[in-house]
Amino acid sequence: MEDQKIRNMEEFSAVSGISRPTVSKYFNDPTSVRRSTRDRIEHALKQYDFRPNLFAINQNRKSTKNIGIVVPHIVDPFFAEIVRLIEQRCIEAGYWAIVLSSHGEAELEANALDLLRSMKLAGAVIAPLGERSDRARMMQFASEIPTVIFDSPLGSGEAFVGTDNFHSIGLIVDYLCRTGEPPCFLEMPAVNENALERKNAYIGAMERQGLTPEVVPVAESDWGFEQIGYEQGLRLLSRWSFPTSTVLCANDRIAIGLLAAAYERGLRIGRGPGSAMRIAGHDDHPLSRFTCPPLTTVAQDHAAIADKSVSALFDMIEDGGPQDRAPVKLEGKLIMRLSA
């Protein structure tokens, strides 16, 4: 490694003995140059370790290689995992992913969109904040830049990838009815479309079986799901006012909170004979197999969501711009553990 600093591609092309346009060509696609020149460049690269300036690259490219990713909460393991997978797919395809989190705030989401708009993106993958999202703004964004929405749909017409709540909730409702007392439904705050859809899916599934649905409503509207499940649990358990002893939670994080409350009240959870109640969730949160007892839930197929989102996006990019696509609804998988 020489100590001489290479300041730009010009200088690098000088020391490598290859012309600048060819060097540029190499960095865009190493296989696009002849083997011998590629070797010479890579040999020089070992001596001088030069990297093209990212900003200059992206300023000039016709089609940039940047994918924007926006999620409501990067702190939520579900989104963290999906982002990780999407990022991976993008990198494999030679793209660079810019990850932005709304941190639950509509203003930050809007900022994120503005920021991305100023970056000449090749495309974007977005999980909307939900109710509080600036829908019009997001639709506008999606009309300018190839965009795939995931997790929670925006409205209709946009490219969407997500879990089929009617299917997945149906799965677990059926399972719970088959194996014991029919479940009541502890809903999640109405932060997005999923919240509403899962509730409706529950109601539909119960009615299909000729049973009366029992929804336990929540008043909160924030993303502190564990806390909400916990408080709700304590409140209801203190005077046992759950409609039934089987509780289906709208997601695993709610269920984790409820489990904590039940534990605190000394209730035995599970499907065994000596148990006081059954608790089930939805999502297959990374920690749901380590709860006490391990949580019965429906797994969202993280990898599939990431795969389908990215491939849908690449399709759009190749077809040259935004366009309508049929929504992709993935089927969840029942994960039977001990809590229900």
Partner DNA sequence: AAGTAAAATTGGCGCGCGTAAAAAATTAGA
Partner DNA sequence: TCTAATTTTTTACGCGCGCCAATTTTACTT
CB atoms within 10 A of CB 154: 19
Q: One-letter amino acid identity for 226? A: E
| Residues 14-53 as x/- pattern, contact with DNA by CB under 7 A | ---xxxxxx-xx-xx---xxx-xxx-------------xx
Nearer to a second copy, 9 or 161 (CB): 9
Minimum distance of DNA from residue 60's CB (angstroms): 3
Nearer to a second copy, 200 or 227 (CB): 227
What residues line the site for a second copy (CB under 8 A)?
51-56, 58-59, 74-75, 77, 80-81, 83-84, 87-88, 96, 98-99, 101, 103, 114-115, 117-120, 226, 230, 256-257, 259-260, 263-264, 286-287, 289-294
Residue 340 to residues 196, 223, 230, 292, 303: CA-CA distances in angstroms?
23, 25, 18, 12, 26
Give the span between the Cα atoms of 297 and 249, in whole angstroms. 9
Residue 57 engages DNA in binding (rule: CB under 7 A): yes
212 beta partners: none
Residue 33 to residues 36, 42, 50, 51: CA-CA distances in angstroms?
8, 12, 18, 18
Give the span between the Cα atoms of 121 and 321, in whole angstroms. 11
Nearer to a second copy, 105 or 319 (CB): 105
Nearer to DNA, 119 or 139 (CB): 119
Pairing of strands 96-101, 147-150: unpaired
Minimum distance of DNA from residue 4's CB (angstroms): 15
Minimum distance of a second copy from residue 116's CB (angstroms): 9
Residue 5 engages DNA in binding (rule: CB under 7 A): no
Give the span between the Cα atoms of 119 and 116, in whole angstroms. 5
Footprint of DNA (CB under 7 A): 7-10, 17-22, 24-25, 27-28, 32-34, 36-38, 52-53, 56-57, 59-63
